[in-house]
Amino acid sequence: MSGARALSRPARTGLLLLLGVVAIHAALIPLGPGGMLVPPDLLYCLVIAWVLRAPDAPPVWLLVGLGLAADILLSRPIGLGALGLLLAAEVAGRNRASLRGLPFPAEWTAAAIGYGLILAGIYAALRLTFAEAPPPYDLLRYLVATALAYPLVALAVAWGVRLHAGERTSPRERPT
């Protein structure tokens, strides 16, 4: 294929790693600790938007590593967020061909539904193991914040990063 102008596979992996770290880091900014603000899960948006646009799926270790780092650093229940991210990315990757043909609102809805399922799964797991679960209202706001952030992240991924050279050739080369 015409891979000469697109990023190579190691470069894509490195770039996703870098953007993932930035996404985790952005949630840590103390804009109003304890206040009403709920930060969106940018890592989920990034990974889903990336998987739907990249020519192949990112490596499993990268998804697990990023998900675990987010779980640990963002004080979420450890393991569940990473599991949800991994499964969502895999499901999105397997249905890439059909999802890519859809108009953007459909992709957006699918991403939001996916995140809703992840949060519902986490909530159920916390309840089943008698752990403290946040009130569903908070999780709903988390879902809304993430859904609102998705188009922006998807735009950034589609526009800023030339993932595949198929339909669009990038004017500038990006070595890293």
Q: Does 74 bind other proteins (CB under 8 A)?
A: yes
Contacting residue, 17, 72, 117, 156, with other proteins by CB under 8 A? 72
- Determine which residue in the list 33, 103, 160, 171 makes contact with other proteins, applying CB under 8 A: 33
Q: 166: how many CB neighbours lie within 10 A of its CB?
A: 12
Among 13, 15, 17, 77, binds other proteins (CB under 8 A): 77
Give the residue from 15, 1, 97 showing the smallest Cα distance to 59.
15
- Integer angstrom CA distances of residue 83 from 12, 16, 65: 22, 18, 11
Q: Which of 44, 50, 115, 142 binds other proteins (CB under 8 A)?
A: 142
Which positions ≥6 away from 84 have C-beta within 8 Å?
A: 67, 118, 121, 122
Q: What are phi and psi of 133, to 5 degrees?
A: -110, 140
Residue among 32, 124, 170, 174 that touches other proteins (CB under 8 A): 32
Count the Cβ atoms, other than its own, within 10 Å of residue 159: 9
Which of 41, 44, 66, 161 lies at the binding interface for other proteins (CB under 8 A)?
Answer: 41
Q: Identify the helix (H) or strand (E) that includes residue 129.
A: none
Distance CA(31)–CA(8), nearest Å, equals: 37
78 binds other proteins (CB under 8 A): yes
Residue 102 token pair: 């859809």
CB of 109 to other proteins, least distance (A): 22
- The stretch among 44-52, 97-105, 130-138, 156-164 that binds other proteins (CB under 8 A) is 130-138
The residue among 34 and 160 lying less far from other proteins, judged by its C-beta, is: 34
Footprint of other proteins on this chain (CB under 8 A)?
9, 24-25, 27-36, 38-39, 41, 56-57, 60, 64, 67-68, 72-80, 82-83, 86-87, 90, 125, 129, 131-132, 134-135, 138-139, 141-142
